[in-house]
Chain A
Amino acid sequence: MSNKHVNAVVVGAGAGGGIVAKELAVAGLSTVLFERGDWVTYDDHDDDELISQRTHPLKNAFGPDDERHRRVRVNADGSTSIVLPSEGGYNNNAACVGSGTVSYGAMAWRFMEKDFKMKSTYGHVEGSTLEDWPIDYFDLEPCYEKAEWEIGVAGDHNANPFMAPRKKPYPMPAFSYNREGKMLYDTAKRLGLHPFSIPMLRNSVPYGGRPACYRMRSCVGFACPVNAKCGTHNTVIPTALKSGNCELRTNCQVAEIMLNENGRARGVKYYDENDNGQIQTADIVVIAAAAVETARLLLNSRNKLFPNGAGNNNDWVGRNLQGHAYTGASGLFKDEIYDDVGPGACWAISDYNHDNDGIIGGGALCNSFVVMPYLFTRTRPPGAKRWGIEHKEFQRSKFKRIAHVRGPFQEIPNFEARVSIDPVVKDHWGIPTVRLSGSRHSYDPIGCQFMSDRAEEILKEAGAYFSWQGVGGRGLSGGQHQSGTARMGNYPQTSVTNKFGQVHDIDNLFIADGSLAVTNGGFNPALTIMALGYYVGDYIVKNWNGSKFK
């Protein structure tokens, strides 16, 4: 039985894809939204740390599963190993309806003006592909606003003096600080810094028909038991489905974008929940599978015109894989500073995102999400014994007396940090798998050291009697903050899509996720991915003439 032709196929029901599907469906386009995972709720994992998004040695409750998925990792010495989704080297994001927006920490950052102009701000960096975006902050500003109001953000629009100009306040008031956050707020004020309550995609008051957050400790890495965390799964995707124009197909693994001889996309080949091969044709194909899987899908879609993969005639697909090195410091305090008010992270400064003497870029610094007991076993000063009574004593006496200040350092992209297709290894369906290779740019540890020094200064001023740094290294970063593998640009020779996310040379094929990001900011990228979803969706709708695209 063949599937009925539709106007649009969207692959990936995450931050970008959920939004595009809703924009298209509400505008009247018949849309099929593909998701390789399923719906996940709190009841599927409870507060089980061993299957959470943050630590998942047994499995990741948010997918994908170890049985059917694998990737190949090229190690530093050139050897390769097969990695499973539950293992760190896989660089997993998530595979469920809403994707990372179900389990994320939900920080709602707008990038800053300079984040879109990294090359003109800092100049060429040797060995990097640092570049300006083809769009600027003001092109995305209305989309940020739309994301903040449609998905829902709590924050104080006046609190961060470094935030780029904005037209509207946040729809919900800012969250209060927990005990640790209040301590760091006072500390930062003493240091002449500009602390503020982190803007969050989480209800501080009832919003969107869902209740307010009740401050769980197990928030990041888990679905919200009361649905107070705002993702695409409980906002735009239900809206899309209600429009009557969108069909969500879960447990469907898309294998290939079908291309025709005129260089256009015809639809997708996929495997349904019973592993049956199927075809879904469409007028428009939008890929939003996150940077790693989006690149894989493009690279696995070949024909005579695109022998190396869709949009890859200039070898830019899968390149410039970025995420973030997390860097900062930890401090021990004599008194208990933990008051069990989740999710933990509530305090931030943006003083060091740019304009740091001699440093390229920078990043936000925040206090940490609650480090749950198992993850806490890895939180130790350098050289500390990891087992025995020393281990136990640290667990029970330090858990409530520790603060972490850290943040994502803006990564300097490089061409060799990449996603390619492994020539041998295939997944459960026989689809060639991802091969991850390369590392972060050599500049990253320098910038991370700068950020960690700043973080430690703050902890010392706060009264930590002992502190130590965790400095980001050069390990390839393609996890939850993955981006950059289908960069937008003005020139086909040095990018994959134009400034609207439209793949060069394939005018009905779009990308709508973090893959488009030329650079990844010094912030958690979720809100920017959402803004890109609105931006690309708006362009498609405006250029849709009712029966044809352009």
Chain B
Amino acid sequence: MQRIRFAKDKTARYFMLGVAVFIILFLLIIGFSLFFKALPIMREKNLWNLLTSSEWKPFKGEFGFSSFIISTVYVSLIAIIIALPLSILTSIYLNSYASKSIRRFFEPVVDLLSGIPPVIYGVWGTLTIVPIVSRRIAPLFVEYSTGYTVLAGGIVLAVMIIPLMISIMVEIFRSIPRDITDASLSLGATRWQTVKKVILRRSFSGIIAAMVLALSRAFGETMAVLMVCGNIPLIPHSFFDACYPLPALIANNYGEMLSMPSYESALMLAAFLLFIIVILFNGASRLVLNQIEKRYHFT
């Protein structure tokens, strides 16, 4: 009886250890398999040329990624520029001003926004944002725009990353010891002065980390952006041009290109680039955020 119990315990322990090791290795497996799939195109062409050329003619063997990379960066930057101030203001409001009932009311709002699937955001974007951009905003700046533009992609993406940023920032602001804000308030500072001089200053690194995390989410967002940004493989010259981010490139072409090995390899390179960038951004911001969380738990 005893022996069976211990044998069970031991088996379970080894199984669990195996699972844990697998999870760590899984990251490496994904990375390496994407890398090896992307290797043929990198051998065939110079990597630097691939990244800087904007010539995208798969059937002539031209694979220049720069228009896709630039599109991804533009769309993500617009999203961050819109989402960052809104998220900071709202999280400060929720943390320092709002009453408990408002805070409790806002929790499901943020949850729902983060739970809505990308496709639904895409549908909403095509129904509302695209016509608004095409009819209201674009005519102020350019002669004609379809609405399926960098700007539309950025706006939809902004709405998608706001809940992520709010939930992280609320945590960060909450981690600031009550004593410090109380001290500032008791010296006669207004709430806003306290926010400005104490809270924002103290959580600066956290806000940057939240922003970087949101940026990496924005880089990888596929479906919603694909549905509103036009998908034309040219470098966008203004916010009212169509664009074609990396994830959309993969989604639109992968699966149909198996007959062309170099095409497949090029798309795998796109996935590998995305993977590496996201890992770097994610890793860096998680390190900062974990540090903040530790400070919160041990002080």
* A and B pair up: no
